[in-house]
Structure 1
Amino acid sequence: MVYVVFLSLLIDLLAFTMILPLLPSLLDYYKKNDGPDGLYASVLRAIGHFQDVLGAPDKFNSVLFGGFLGSMFSFLQFVISPIAGGLSDVYGRKPVLLICLTGGAVSYFLWAISHNFSVFVLARVVGGLSKGNVSLSMAAITDVSTSATRAAGMALVGIAFSLGFIIGPMIGAGFTKWSQSQQNEWFVVPATFALALALLDIGFVCVYFKETLPTEKRAKSFIDGLNQALSYINVAALFNFTAVTNLSAKDTNELRMLGRVYFVYLFLYSGLEFTLSFLTHHVFHYSAMDQGYMFAFIGVIMAVLQGGWVRRIPPTKVKLAAVWGLLLIVPSFVFIGLSWSKSLFYIGLFLFAVSTSMVVPCLNTLASQFGAADQKGAVMGIFRSLGALARALGPIVASVGKVYFLLGVVKIIKINFCIEYFI
């Protein structure tokens, strides 16, 4: 069953990551074609006031747009992840997973017909509200694994992300290079292919995914489950893991600290991840294909490490691996922020990929050890929601800097603070 979850998540991520190298070009398209009365022009006027405060040049408007879209998408993930996790504890993983995947397919359909910026934003809204499938996948792996095999299962989730970042952006960039010479609305081809992948994923889950949460282990009450899920949106309750009951004081404190570490790391990580395509677009003048190669470089490193080493880390060494991964993010930011050449930039990317390949699966493995069987979905949903909240704040904060690397001092201080308490 772990491999079924892995394949489903991989198909979903292939569709999801296709858009990453396309965002700068998509925003350029809507800037030219949305019209003076469209949503793009309205948002541009609002951003103009903010831009004046920052003193940012006009060429960085797309960065601010990108930060807005990235933060909006992740904020919606923040809202939906604990709700999906909590409801799956009541109804089982499979039906909620299918609802999420269907919503993703609808978002790709809307993207394919997004002849104006309003429809494109609607597609991103629907997509963000459908991204509960990642936390559900982690909960399903937790259902069918033991403490000895859980790290390997979480590493497979990391491998799925890595392969998604290798193949998805390359597919998107390749379709773009071909379709731009075929039609004005060049994004229709990659969007349609993403829709096809989403439909394939729905069919795959319908046929091969077997429910991982038995009826006798589910939460009993729909009302209690829904109210509990809705309470996870409360930020203070999220950081305190209030909804996870029956833990010892020691376990509660460890889970809370783990959640804070995860939040800080992904806040910093997502700020860099989301601005990479805009950084290379403006500084190195990368095409969509160049950016596809860049994301593939990151993905290959992550896939090799997670497939060959991280999934074999003994349970007693998982925490130590996470700490080393946290340490590595500091020099990666320094190299990328100070890169005046592509060679220096790729050194930073290498360290960035190594860090991510260690931190994310290891922290998820540690979190999955907490809670009873009927609360695993809630624990992973809260954990995923904390990550989504971090991803909601990271892109917009990174995008309003002068432009990319002014977060250097803040990031080092926060990572060191994070490591000090984690150790």
Structure 2
Amino acid sequence: MLPVVFIALVLDLLAFTMILPLLPSLLDYYGNQDQDGLYSLLHSAVHGFRQLVGAPDTPRWNSVLFGGLIGSMFSFLQFLASPLMGAMSDVYGRRPVVLLSTIGVGISYVIWAVSHNFSLFVLSRIIGGISKGNVSISTAIVADISPPEKRGRGMAVIGIAFSVGFIIGPMIGAGFSVMNRNSVGFNSAPALFAIFLLSVDLLYIYCFLKETLPSERRMKSLGSGVKAAWPLISPLSLFKFEAVQNVPLQDLRRMQRVGGVYFLYLFFYSGLEFTLTFLTHNRFNYDSMKQGKMFFFIGIIMVIIQGGFVRRLKSGREISFSMKAMLTLIPAFLLVAFAQREIILYAGLSLFAFASAVVVPCLTTHISSYGTVEQKGAVLGIFRSLGALARALGPAAACTLYWSVGAEACYSIGAVCLFIPLFLLYRAGVKTE
């Protein structure tokens, strides 16, 4: 099943990531149309935020901030949906929930293809965010089929699928952007291609993905698994893993600490990732093409690391390796903060890529060892939900700091703050050997 999961994820992520380089032109298109009430409302919110943090009033940064708002909304919806879908897969099985998720994402692309106004486009993103539970279910499938000593290899394969998707998908989107450079009006071709990819993905999943959670090992009902929906959508309940019942108290405490570490790490990480476009444009005059090459460089390093070191990592070493990778992120932040030459910038980005390749797969592998077989979906859904919440909040916090105190102070503060998740991971009391 591991190659099946890998191919299904790559197809899904190609469709998902190809919109990223198209967002600025899409937002410009909607801004030049008769603006509906929703566009005006969000534009006012972005304008107020820009004034609050002191960002310059230029079309480029207004577009980046507007895109960041849309991205944060998508991540927040994933925060709400991931644990619910994970718990559903514990009751109804992995395969039907993956199919349901893929259909929902496909519907969002259909709406995107006909979204000649901004409200329809936002509706497509809302449906896509609510439906995007296939990644957490895929991690649960890997946990189902992999013995503990080989689970890290499976999580590394999921990480490689992400890296491949985030390398090739934006390049496809950039290709559509170049093709549409001289045309006028709305272009549905990228959305139609995304629909094609999702259709192939859906057919592939239907034909080749087998159920990995037998009926006798499932939760009897959604209520028996979580007792109520509230523990799956309340942030405080999610941090406490309240929906995971009947686990030893010591295991629950460790899950809570690792979940908190994961949230804090992605909070700081996503902030650097989002503000990096500001820094490279202001300091090195990077245009969209150069920034695309920069992220391609990061993606290639991630594929090499995940295909090499992470896949060969011995079981039980995930926490210690995560700590080492987080440590490399501290000099990465500082090198990027004070880089005045591109070689220094790329040295920092190399360390940034190493941490990107290691921390999330290793922490996911570790958290998948907790809970009973029928609880894996809920555990991994909650875990991924905490990451989505971090990605919803991190860019706004980092952007505020970046424009308020400058790049050097912003990344230096981020580097210092990374000692918090490192300390919590050390205090988790997990055996790392």
Deviation at 1:81, TM superposition (A): 0.2
| Residue 322 (1) aligns with residue 322 (2) | yes
Could you tell me the TM-score, scaled by structure 1's length?
0.93
The 1:36/1:381 distance shift into structure 2, 3 A limit, reads closer
Residues 32-71 of structure 1: matches in 2 within 5 Å? 33-59=32-58, 60-71=61-72
For 2:30 and 2:331, the matched residues in 1 are separated by: 37
Aligned to 1:178: 179
Deviation at 1:380, TM superposition (A): 0.4
Report if aligned partners of 1:83, 1:230 keep a CA contact under 8 Å in 2: no
For 2:424 and 2:34, the matched residues in 1 are separated by: 51
Question: What SS does structure 2 have at the residue aligned with 1:149?
Answer: helix
Residues 252-267 of structure 1: matches in 2 within 5 Å? 252-267=252-267
The 1:259/1:226 distance shift into structure 2, 3 A limit, reads closer
Encode CA deviations 1:360-386: one digit per residue, 9 max, x unaligned: 100001000001001011110110111
Deviation at 1:272, TM superposition (A): 2.3
For 1:129 and 1:170, the matched residues in 2 are separated by: 26
Residues 217-256 of structure 1: matches in 2 within 5 Å? 217-225=217-225, 227-256=227-256
For 1:144 and 1:5, the matched residues in 2 are separated by: 11
Report if aligned partners of 1:319, 1:366 keep a CA contact under 8 Å in 2: yes
Q: Which amino acid aligns with 1:48?
A: H
Deviation at 1:259, TM superposition (A): 0.6
Encode CA deviations 1:168-213: one digit per residue, 9 max, x unaligned: 1111112211222344334x22222122111111111000000010
Report if aligned partners of 1:169, 1:295 keep a CA contact under 8 Å in 2: no
The 1:344/1:26 distance shift into structure 2, 3 A limit, reads farther
Encode CA deviations 1:57-86: one digit per residue, 9 max, x unaligned: 212322331221111100000000000000
Mean CA deviation greater in 249-258 or 403-412: 403-412
Report if aligned partners of 1:270, 1:394 keep a CA contact under 8 Å in 2: yes
Aligned to 2:83: 82
Encode CA deviations 1:251-309: one digit per residue, 9 max, x unaligned: 22211111111001111112222344455456555444433322221111111110122
Report if aligned partners of 1:86, 1:228 keep a CA contact under 8 Å in 2: no
Report if aligned partners of 2:110, 2:191 keep a CA contact under 8 Å in 1: yes
Report if aligned partners of 1:251, 1:370 keep a CA contact under 8 Å in 2: yes
Aligned to 1:123: 124
Percent identity over paired residues: 50
Report if aligned partners of 2:74, 2:129 keep a CA contact under 8 Å in 1: yes
Residues 141-220 of structure 1: matches in 2 within 5 Å? 141-186=142-187, 188-220=188-220
Aligned to 2:26: 26
Q: Which amino acid aligns with 2:267?
A: F
The 1:88/1:242 distance shift into structure 2, 3 A limit, reads same
Aligned to 2:399: 399
For 1:30 and 1:390, the matched residues in 2 are separated by: 28
Report if aligned partners of 1:67, 1:399 keep a CA contact under 8 Å in 2: no
Aligned to 1:421: 424
Report if aligned partners of 2:106, 2:195 keep a CA contact under 8 Å in 1: yes
Aligned to 1:7: 7
| Residue 388 (1) aligns with residue 413 (2) | no
Report if aligned partners of 2:163, 2:300 keep a CA contact under 8 Å in 1: yes
Encode CA deviations 1:40-68: one digit per residue, 9 max, x unaligned: 33322233333333232212322331221
Encode CA deviations 1:309-361: one digit per residue, 9 max, x unaligned: 21110013222111111111112222223334433332222111111111010
Mean CA deviation greater in 291-300 or 212-221: 291-300
The 1:335/1:28 distance shift into structure 2, 3 A limit, reads farther
The 1:354/1:233 distance shift into structure 2, 3 A limit, reads same
The 1:228/1:159 distance shift into structure 2, 3 A limit, reads farther
Q: Which amino acid aligns with 2:172?
A: I
Question: What SS does structure 2 have at the residue aligned with 1:47?
Answer: helix
Aligned to 2:431: none
Q: Which amino acid aligns with 1:49?
A: G
Report if aligned partners of 2:29, 2:185 keep a CA contact under 8 Å in 1: no
Report if aligned partners of 2:226, 2:245 keep a CA contact under 8 Å in 1: no
For 2:165 and 2:93, the matched residues in 1 are separated by: 26
Q: Which amino acid aligns with 1:81?
A: S
The 1:281/1:26 distance shift into structure 2, 3 A limit, reads farther
For 1:119 and 1:276, the matched residues in 2 are separated by: 30
Report if aligned partners of 2:93, 2:218 keep a CA contact under 8 Å in 1: yes
Mean CA deviation greater in 320-329 or 172-181: 172-181
Deviation at 1:118, TM superposition (A): 1.8
Structure 1 residue runs of 5 or longer lacking an equivalent are none
Could you tell me the TM-score, scaled by structure 2's length?
0.91
Structure 2 residue runs of 5 or longer lacking an equivalent are 427-433
The 1:113/1:295 distance shift into structure 2, 3 A limit, reads farther
Deviation at 1:161, TM superposition (A): 0.6
Residues 341-352 of structure 1: matches in 2 within 5 Å? 341-352=341-352
Aligned to 1:366: 366
